[in-house]
Structure 1
């Protein structure tokens, strides 16, 4: 026997469906600076990885394009000399259904990059190895924390102009 609540039928959550339609490298560059001017002495690499995300709606219904951009710089810890620079723009095309409009933004910038990241990590590993360095195996990225930090940064940027006007 079905349970009734005040004569209203129980609401059913929409089923979330996400399909990866395509994924590809939009742009990539790798510059082996060490090969042009070899380092002297002991080389201890210091890696810096910057992550940028972007998403936009496509013309087709329920389709979105999500960009995962990685900028990786490696410098010698001792001298500060650059060893290599790598930039990768990796794009995924997604068909997403059942996500409420107020939750599509975090979904696109958290769940979609989570799906793309293992493929981008593999590309980074292969390119650094093929570029003459040990393969760089990126640590897992916490896209939830990255999203929260970006929301806080935007909120602070919007509040800053108002603060300067009142002082």
Structure 2
């Protein structure tokens, strides 16, 4: 065998674009909400999705969606949603490695942008900064893979 036939394909991981796909901020009980003591209860929903844009070129779009709802008693103080997205080229990897990169590495790149956007929107809405805790996307991905495997064995 020649050296050229035994070489692995070149692995490419490139960030082509990082962009904000969607932002939303609502404070349905303003201005009255500003007159009560601010002892909030926070609910955060986090979701990651990806799709192939140009499969033959290994171009993917990844979206990290963060929705944070803060309540004071039974009243919604604010609801903020940010969809932070990125276009990545991922080529020369196995399917399992591509899925891992899409589910862990890409969200790790995008999350700081989403975190900053959430904090900025909340401050602009007149509330104290909301600093989201770091996220372990590796654990989320492992849980997702286990869930898929469990569903596959049940069928």
Identify whether the pair has TM-score above 0.5, normalized to the shorter chain. yes
Q: Deviation of residue 156 (structure 1)? A: 4.2
Whether the aligned pair in 1 keeps the contact of 2:57 and 2:91 (CA below 8 Å) is: no
CA RMSD in angstroms, aligned pairs only: 2.4
2:130 aligned with 1:139? no
- Aligned partner of residue 35 in structure 1, secondary structure: coil
Aligned residues between the structures: 152
Distance 1:50 1:153 in 2: 18
2:19 aligned with 1:27: no
Structure 1 residue 122 and structure 2 residue 79: aligned?
no
Partner of 1:97: 91
The equivalent of 1:72 in structure 2 is 68
- Where structure 2 has 5 or more consecutive residues not aligned to the other structure, the ranges are none
4+ residue runs over 4 A deviation: 11-15, 156-160
- Computing the radius of gyration from Cα coordinates, the structure with the larger value is 1
Conserved? CA contact 2:119–2:130, under 8 Å: yes
Using the TM superposition, give the Cα deviation of residue 58 of structure 1 relative to its aligned residue in structure 2, in angstroms: 1.1
CA deviation after TM superposition for structure 1 residue 38, in Å: 2.6
